[in-house]
Amino acid sequence: MLRIALVAAALAARAVPARAQVLPAFGEDRAGTSGFQFLKVPVDPRGAALGEASVVTASDAAALFWNPALAAQGGGTEVGIATAAYHADVALHYAAGYRRVGPVTIGLSLQALDSGEMAVTDEFNPDGTGETFAVTDVAAGVTVAQALTDLFSYGVTAKYVRESIAGVTSQTALLDLGIFYQVGDTGVELGVAIRNFGGDATPSGSITRQTIDGPVEETEFQGIHPPTTFLMGASWRPFRTGAARDLTFVGQLTRPNDNAERFNVGAEYVWNELLSLRAGYRFGVDEGNLPSFGAGLRVPGLGSGRDLRIDYAFTSLERLGAVHRIGVNLRLP
């Protein structure tokens, strides 16, 4: 199974354009060349607060979103739910969970976007035709991960993705592939993942648009490319003094197939295993003029091996405004 995962990862890496790029090239950013954009938006507060640099740090149920290999690092059960009040009154939701079953970890995840009802407009009715439509996106995944040693693990997620806009529906199957490696006792950890790798989707259905000659029904559409993204990151914990304090720095290279390369950085400070403070920044993101911030609070007194944490994150884009995320993560023995 490991050989299959590594071969698939190599093929997926070749699917991402091979042009070398160290810093973002804003004049050649390939924006708007893929669909299923909701798959790229993180819903979990911890990952968003860390500047989306989570390919190596997602230690809870959000591991199934960032890097499936991280799910094999836990020893019990993780369950998490999160929601985000996104731009333009769009709602994003995420639910995931995984459990160790013998030598492997099995996980399930569900990601959804709901735009709510929006007014239909066209060049003849810029204020609205009186009709409404909605955008509904869903991704459901099954994950299998395995720790080959205490220091190395890998994981694979198979996802069914469906996007529905007005009367047009697109659906396809995608894969997430990931590996994780801990560099001994140095405090350094490495993670690599390829997200949303798979075939194109062909939209089906029909939509009617108004022309000078009257209404025209469109039934033929171009194929949609998935937003395949390559992530490579490293984290470093410079000190850890018992349960009193824990500091982690993380950096990540993010290379999507439909935009410029980005660099993400973040830091998390945990006090007394109770309060977590987080911050991050995304270099190369248009409109991303402010750092991200967040915090997490662990609920004490749940008993041995049980952990309940409530997280919040704030992110902002210059003209679109702020996004607030909140989530709950439960760990069971």
Kindly give the confidence (pLDDT) of every residue in the chain, 333 residues in length, as a single tens digit, with 9 standing for 90 and above: 444 444 344 444 444 443 444 444 444 556 667 889 999 999 899 999 999 999 999 989 999 999 999 999 877 899 999 999 998 889 999 999 999 999 999 999 999 999 888 888 877 878 888 888 788 999 999 999 999 998 999 999 999 999 998 889 999 999 999 999 999 888 899 999 999 999 999 898 888 777 787 788 877 888 899 999 999 999 999 876 555 678 999 999 999 998 889 999 999 999 988 999 999 999 988 877 899 999 999 998 777 778 999 999 999 988 888 999 999 999 998
Please state whether 75 falls in left (phi above 0), alpha (psi between -120 and 50) or beta: alpha
Domain boundaries, the chain: 2-15+28-332
Cα atoms found within 13 Å of the Cα of residue 147, Cβ hemisphere only: 15
C-alpha–C-alpha distance, residues 56 and 264, integer Å = 12
Question: 2-15+28-332: which CATH architecture?
Answer: Beta Barrel (2.40)
> What pLDDT is recorded for position 140?
98
Q: What is the CA radius of gyration of the chain?
A: 21
Q: Which helix (H) or strand (E) holds 66?
A: helix 63-66
Integer CA distances (angstroms), 91 to 87, 108, 216, 245, 291, in order: 8, 21, 32, 35, 22
C-alpha–C-alpha distance, residues 200 and 224, integer Å = 5
Which residues are CB-contacts of 92 (< 8 A; sequence separation ≥ 6)? 38, 41, 43, 83, 84, 86, 111, 112, 113
Do 280 and 42 touch, CB atoms closer than 8 A?
A: no
Q: How far is CA 54 from its chain centroid?
A: 9
CB neighbours (10 Å) of residue 121?
Answer: 12
Question: Quick one: which of 13, 47, 17 has its CA closest to 258?
Answer: 17
C-alpha–C-alpha distance, residues 255 and 231, integer Å = 6
C-alpha–C-alpha distance, residues 248 and 235, integer Å = 7
> What pLDDT is recorded for position 13?
42
The residue whose two tokens read 């003094």 is 241
Do 244 and 30 touch, CB atoms closer than 8 A?
A: no
> What pLDDT is recorded for position 10?
42
> What pLDDT is recorded for position 30?
67
Which residues are CB-contacts of 320 (< 8 A; sequence separation ≥ 6)? 87, 88, 287
> What pLDDT is recorded for position 211?
79
> What pLDDT is recorded for position 111?
97
> What pLDDT is recorded for position 254?
95
In this structure, what token pair is assigned to residue 162? 């469906």
> What pLDDT is recorded for position 157?
98
> What pLDDT is recorded for position 165?
87
Which residues are CB-contacts of 102 (< 8 A; sequence separation ≥ 6)? none
